């Protein structure tokens, strides 16, 4: 299933927040991403409908198996691209912003080539 880049960003944020704090609620996503409560609410509904997250009766959000797989995949792409950009001299703030955009548009072949280059250089 192809997941839209905005959904990937939400999944990645849920993954990182859950690793950081152990629990995630919509308010945490609002605070982290800077989006409005209604926007996050609509996104969470869509993620639930696509079986990418589960929200319990107390409002705590967890990733489903499919959601976690997608989140880990996008986080790996982001981290690898960020590391590569920093390694070629891009400042950290710009590298983070560029990696966030690039993680959604690079083909699997291009990403694999960049990842392979970093591994060959011992950067990963």
Q: Is the pLDDT of residue 124 over 70?
A: no
Taking only the tens place, the pLDDT of each residue in 5-64 is: 899 999 999 999 999 999 999 999 999 999 999 999 999 999 999 999 999 999 999 999
Q: Which of 59, 64, 58 is nearest to 3 (CA)?
A: 64
Q: DSSP E strands: which ranges in the chain?
A: 53-55, 61-63
Q: Looking at 11-115, which runs of residues are DSSP E strands?
A: 53-55, 61-63
Q: Would you state the pLDDT for residue 4? A: 87
Name all domains of the chain by residue range, CATH numbers in brackets: 5-64 (1.10.10.10), 70-121 (1.10.60.10)
Residues 58 and 23: their CA atoms lie apart, in Å, by 11
Q: Using CA atoms, how far apart are residues 20 and 24, in angstroms rounded to an integer? A: 10
Residue 5 tokens, joined: 């880049």
């Amino acid at each position: 299933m192809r997941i839209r880049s905005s959904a990937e960003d939400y999944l990645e944020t849920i993954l990182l927040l859950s690793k950081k704090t152990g629990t995630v609620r919509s308010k945490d996503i609002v605070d982290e991403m800077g989006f409005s409560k209604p926007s996050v609410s609509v996104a969470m509904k869509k993620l639930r409908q696509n079986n990418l997250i589960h929200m319990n009766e107390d409002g705590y959000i967890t990733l489903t198996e499919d959601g976690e797989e997608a989140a880990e995949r996008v986080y790996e792409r982001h981290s690898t691209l960020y590391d590569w950009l920093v390694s070629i001299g891009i400042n950290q703030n710009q590298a983070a912003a560029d990696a966030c955009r690039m993680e959604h548009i690079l083909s699997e072949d291009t990403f694999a080539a960049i990842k392979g280059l970093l591994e060959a250089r011992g950067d990963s």
